[in-house]
């Protein structure tokens, strides 16, 4: 049975495409007799004509990849675009190095673990890029007898 006209009217009423209009195959006779918009509205109300759910795109793969990236995966050579300095700029790297060093020096000076003169010397050395990390600075201090721990 051809109910294409009814489907077209129903699509207009339901504000969707013709392909999203589902007609109950057991009630095709009722649908065939419906010729006005009001008739179609009544069939929609009875559940004989139904608007199908929209088909979506699954984001499961995307979510899985995002989760892996959060764990630090997928960061190999093949995934990188841009130079080393573009991914983490030199300045940012420097900031991430110098701030902990200066914070540690300040704490040590306030706790009287180092003298003011030693603090100034180490501060200038840190500014000059003499230390890679806090641990490197501690090693230097132990080797030069500044720190007795």
The per-residue pLDDT for 148 is 62
- pLDDT per position as a tens digit, 31-55: 999 999 999 999 999 999 999 999 9
- pLDDT per position as a tens digit, 88-97: 999 999 999 9
CATH 3.40.120.10 fits 4-51, yes or no: no
> Which residues have a Cβ under 8 Å from the Cβ of 47 and sit 6 or more positions away?
24
Please state the rounded mean pLDDT for residues 7-34: 94
With 80 as the cut, is the pLDDT of residue 149 above it?
no
The class (CATH top level) of 88-143 is mainly alpha
- pLDDT per position as a tens digit, 51-75: 999 999 999 999 999 999 999 999 9
Q: In whole numbers, what is the pLDDT of the chain averaged over residues? A: 94
- Residue that has been written with the tokens 């100034």 in this structure: 120
Contact 126, 105 (CB under 8 A): yes
**C-alpha atoms less than 13 angstroms from C-alpha of 6 in its C-beta half-sphere:** 25
Residue 11 CA to residue 117 CA, distance in Å, equals: 84
Domain ranges of the chain: 4-51, 88-143
Please state the rounded mean pLDDT for residues 13-27: 95
With 70 as the cut, is the pLDDT of residue 26 above it?
yes
């Amino acid at each position: 049975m051809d109910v294409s006209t009814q489907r077209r009217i129903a699509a207009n009423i339901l504000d969707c495409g013709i392909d999203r209009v589902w007609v109950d195959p057991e009630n095709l006779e009722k649908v065939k007799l419906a010729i006005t918009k009001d008739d179609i509205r009544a069939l929609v109300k009875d559940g004989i004509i139904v608007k199908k759910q929209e088909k979506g795109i699954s984001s499961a793969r995307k979510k899985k990849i995002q989760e892996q990236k959060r764990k630090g995966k997928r960061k190999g050579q093949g995934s990188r675009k841009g130079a080393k300095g573009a991914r983490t700029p030199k300045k940012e790297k420097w900031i991430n190095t110098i701030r902990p060093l200066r914070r540690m020096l300040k704490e040590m000076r306030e706790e009287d673990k180092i003298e003011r003169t030693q603090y100034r010397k180490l501060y200038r050395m840190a500014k000059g890029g003499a230390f890679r990390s806090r641990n490197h600075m501690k090693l230097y201090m132990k080797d030069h007898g500044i720190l007795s721990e």
